[in-house]
Amino acid sequence: MVKYICNGCSVKLDGVEMLKHLSVLRHRSIGRVKPKEAVKCEKCQDDNIHKLTVSRIGGEKLLLICKSCVVRQKLKPTTQDSLQNGLFFNNLETYFKINDLCCKSCQKKTDLEVDASDTKFVYCGDCINREGLRGKTIVKKESDDFVYHMLGMMHMLTLDKDGSKGGRHGDNNSGSRGKKSKPKSKSKSNVDYEEFEHSSKFKSIGPKLSYDSLETYYKEMCYHLYLEETIETGSITEFSSEWSLDTMNQVFIKLPYTDKIKELIPFKFRHLRATPFSNNQSFFVTTEFGTDTKIWEVFVEELTGGANAPIITMTFNLHGWNDADELRSGSNLKSIIPCSAPISRILNSMKPLSDSMNFLLNPMKFLSNPINHFSNPNFIKLLLGNKQINQIRSENCKLNYTKSTLNGSQKDAINHVLDNDITIIQGPPGTGKTSTIHEIILQLMKNGTTPILVVAASNIAIDNIAEN
């Protein structure tokens, strides 16, 4: 098993433990212990582990490469594994196995070949002749079949013909001496097989399709949002904290307004903003319980300081799905990570659902407060995935459509929306989804269903609906 060393704290861990370590502490770079070697992009030498991927180009190339170089060199990876999908260290070990190969006789690392019938030893082209293996089925390192024969991995059709061959030690020779030995073909293409194989790996580790409670759903989603945020934003560790004596879910944070904090404000906005933080902005907080590290979600209730003040003071309130008792019992706040505007909006949008969950646990407390929100129970059922939501289909329902150009599937979608609480409409571009949404809005207005909120990922999508 390959051991790695974290360059941030010098801890030595295997791949599984290092993945957890980097996800929580966000240290930037690592190296391999034996042989001692930095883990970095083989193209640009960037060692930011959070940007690195192990990318497979077709079936013949396995690259340790950063995401920027993949785009810059216009590569088309058939698989691309990073810290975010959890498979990075599994495939990094495979990458090292391939690139550590050398000739059994002369230790040469280029022009390598292997006997397809006996993959125990690898030789270079010169030593193959001396060992008397020239008459056997020989596979070169640059061929599609080399990875398959060495590691039992099904190769794929090559998608990128222009890139350099092999990993760090590849050369530009192509083909193989003698007849190629290919894996037996199956009813599905190699590409289909690889997609199925990758899918089965994904299914073995997730995603979860059902949750016991909204709390477990939130914690799962928040962990993935945390991983996403830490790619772009560094953690802040220089601060002091003090728990509120009056409110269980409240903590006071004081941090020095240093140049590092000031750099969090975009340069063109520094004359407009006193601090990089704002009220209602969400933060991720990491804590230590002995050797156990946990992640919590909070939002800023009150903010003072900044600009000419040397200290920024913030009052953090826990989001409702966190357990304040557990957080306060023997924990030490280790770091805080400010959330971007999109992730803050996502976390803040969970508040109404959290209020609904807390209402079920303590209804009197929430009935006495008129500002609390209550959400569609069917939507909560959809998120939890524990109960099947019955779908109603009206076969003989006849509507007066405003357009005569609607096809059968569009009419079915419109009827489904009118009969059910939740409907998902999907289809490739140009299949009439926008026209369907427009007709749904008109039908809802005709039925007196208001207000109607239309939300889209971009202003253009909203404009397309509004123009209709």
pLDDT in tens, 326-385: 777 766 788 999 999 999 999 988 876 655 555 544 555 444 443 344 456 777 788 888
pLDDT at 314 exceeding the cut of 90: yes
pLDDT in tens, 26-39: 788 999 998 888 99
Stretch among 10-24, 112-126, 393-407 having the lowest mean pLDDT: 112-126
- Percent with pLDDT over 90 in the chain: 16
Quote the pLDDT of residue 110. Answer: 74
Peptide bond into 207 cis (omega under 30): yes
pLDDT at 144 exceeding the cut of 90: no
CB proximity list for 391: less than 8 A, separation 6 or greater:
416, 420
Peptide bond into 451 cis (omega under 30): yes
Mean pLDDT of the chain: 76
Quote the pLDDT of residue 379. Answer: 77
CB 56 within 8 A of CB 78: yes
Quote the pLDDT of residue 118. Answer: 60
- Residue 134: which pLDDT band, with cuts at 50, 70 and 90? low
Q: Report in angstroms the alpha-carbon separations of 83 from 67, 274, 415.
A: 12, 35, 43
CB 4 within 8 A of CB 13: yes
Residue 364: strand, helix, or coil: helix
Question: Edge to edge, what strands does the sheet with 61-66 contain?
Answer: 61-66, 52-57, 79-81
Quote the pLDDT of residue 215. Answer: 82
How far apart are alpha carbons 237 and 249 in whole angstroms? 21
Quote the pLDDT of residue 356. Answer: 52
Q: Could you tell me which of 243, 237, 403, 427 has the C-alpha nearest to residue 328?
A: 243
Q: Report in angstroms the alpha-carbon separations of 220 from 11, 206, 211, 225, 310.
A: 27, 11, 9, 9, 37
Stretch among 103-117, 292-306, 400-414 having the lowest mean pLDDT: 103-117
Quote the pLDDT of residue 132. Answer: 62
| Side-chain-facing half-sphere of 322: CA atoms under 13 Å | 24
pLDDT at 140 exceeding the cut of 90: no
The CATH number of domain 214-356, selected from 2.40.30.170, 3.40.50.800, 3.30.465.10, 3.30.2320.20 = 2.40.30.170
Quote the pLDDT of residue 64. Answer: 92
pLDDT in tens, 145-162: 565 555 544 333 333 334
- Residue 247: which pLDDT band, with cuts at 50, 70 and 90? confident
345 backbone φψ class: left, alpha, beta (φ>0; ψ -120 to 50): alpha
pLDDT in tens, 202-217: 444 556 778 888 888 8
Mean pLDDT across 193-198: 38
Quote the pLDDT of residue 196. Answer: 37
Mean pLDDT across 68-76: 88
pLDDT in tens, 410-460: 988 998 998 888 888 988 877 888 889 999 999 999 888 888 998 887 777
| Domain assignments of the chain as residue spans, ordered by start | 3-99, 112-202, 214-356, 408-467
Stretch among 168-172, 225-229, 294-298, 461-465 having the lowest mean pLDDT: 168-172
Stretch among 3-12, 147-156, 307-316 having the lowest mean pLDDT: 147-156
Stretch among 104-118, 214-228, 304-318 having the lowest mean pLDDT: 104-118
pLDDT in tens, 257-308: 888 888 888 888 888 888 899 999 999 998 876 667 788 899 999 998 876 7
- Residue 41: which pLDDT band, with cuts at 50, 70 and 90? very high
Quote the pLDDT of residue 24. Answer: 77
Q: Report in angstroms the alpha-carbon separations of 426 from 415, 431, 442.
A: 15, 9, 20
